[in-house]
A and B are shown apart, each in its own frame.
Chain A
Amino acid sequence: DAKTTQPPSMDCAEGRAANLPCNHSTISGNEYVYWYRQIHSQGPQYIIHGLKNNETNEMASLIITEDRKSSTLILPHATLRDTAVYYCIVRVAEPGSARQLTFGSGTQLTVLP
């Protein structure tokens, strides 16, 4: 699996958009980008994933660059409850492969009042 690089921490003002970057310069053509978050002392929570097109759901948007070497998770209107560690993971998702997702250290996002 491709390795990812994320900043260790970021701050964001409440109500503003939070843009969390992730570098995955060694990503392969069949690897997807997944984002999870972990609020203190809870289990990680799935946010969104994508292959090469931008994706949006009720929680966030995922912007993947054209060369797929980096991506940005966007929380459009951050709230205090979005304070968490955010993990960017790349992983092959094809029939027959095992789901050995490897989580790195992530980005600690702190939303400030």
Chain B
Amino acid sequence: NAGVTQTPKFQVLKTGQSMTLQCAQDMNHEYMSWYRQDPGMGLRLIHYSVGAGITDQGEVPNGYNVSRSTTEDFPLRLLSAAPSQTSVYFCASSYNSAGLNSPLHFGNGTRLTVT
């Protein structure tokens, strides 16, 4: 069982470039989300989705777009990369958006550097 799979593991971009971070889960989870983690700041929610076709903004959405065309996939797009977006990005999913017994499952992250 693969769980939550993130690709790529590492990426270096130049300022102004665009790219998509991929996230896929094979657990038929309704809820998916993206976090960024910066040193000393814990994890901050970027965008989330409670089901296919539904997305919403989290705490730090600026500079990022998401879409949820299937249950399995939740890509995160950087439209024009900036050095401030240098971070580790984690994708997470759970069985449903609010269930008591559906904790978040995390991928192993994408380490992005913007020069």
Q: Which residues of A come within 8 Å of B, CB atoms?
A: 32, 34, 36, 41-46, 49, 87, 92-106
Chain B residues with CB under 8 Å of A34's CB are: 103
Residues of A within 8 Å of B74, CB to CB, are none
Binds A, one of B13-21, B37-45, B63-71: B37-45
Closest Cβ of chain B: how far from A3's Cβ, in Å?
Answer: 12
In-complex Cβ contact of A43 among B4, B50, B97 (8 A): B4
Encoded as 1 (CB less than 8 Å from any A CB) or 0, chain B from 29 to 51 comes to: 00101010000111111001010
Q: How far is the CA of A95 from the CA of B90 in the complex (A)?
A: 25
Q: Report the separation of the CA atoms of residues A46 and B105 in the bound assembly, to the nearest whole angstrom.
A: 7
CB-defined contacts of A42 to chain B, threshold 8 Å:
108-109
How many residues on the B side are at the interface (Cβ–Cβ under 8 A)? Answer: 29
Residue pair B106, A98 in contact (C-beta under 8 Å) = no
Task: Name the residue among A36, A96, A98 with the largest chain B CB count within 10 angstroms.
Answer: A98
Cβ of A104: which chain B residues have Cβ within 8 Å of it?
Answer: 42
Contacts of A100 in B (CB 8 A): 45, 48, 58-59
Q: How far is the CA of A97 from the CA of B100 in the complex (A)?
A: 11
> Are A99 and B42 neighbours in the complex by a CB distance under 8 Å?
no
Contact between B104 and A98, CB atoms less than 8 A apart: no
Contact A98 B108 (CB under 8 A): no
Q: CB within 8 A of A98: which of B43, B98, B109?
A: B98
Q: A106: which B residues are within 8 A, CB to CB?
A: 42
User: Would A44 and B58 be within 8 Å (CB), given that A98-B50, A99-B97 are in contact?
Assistant: no
What's the minimum C-beta distance from B103 to chain A, rounded to whole angstroms?
4
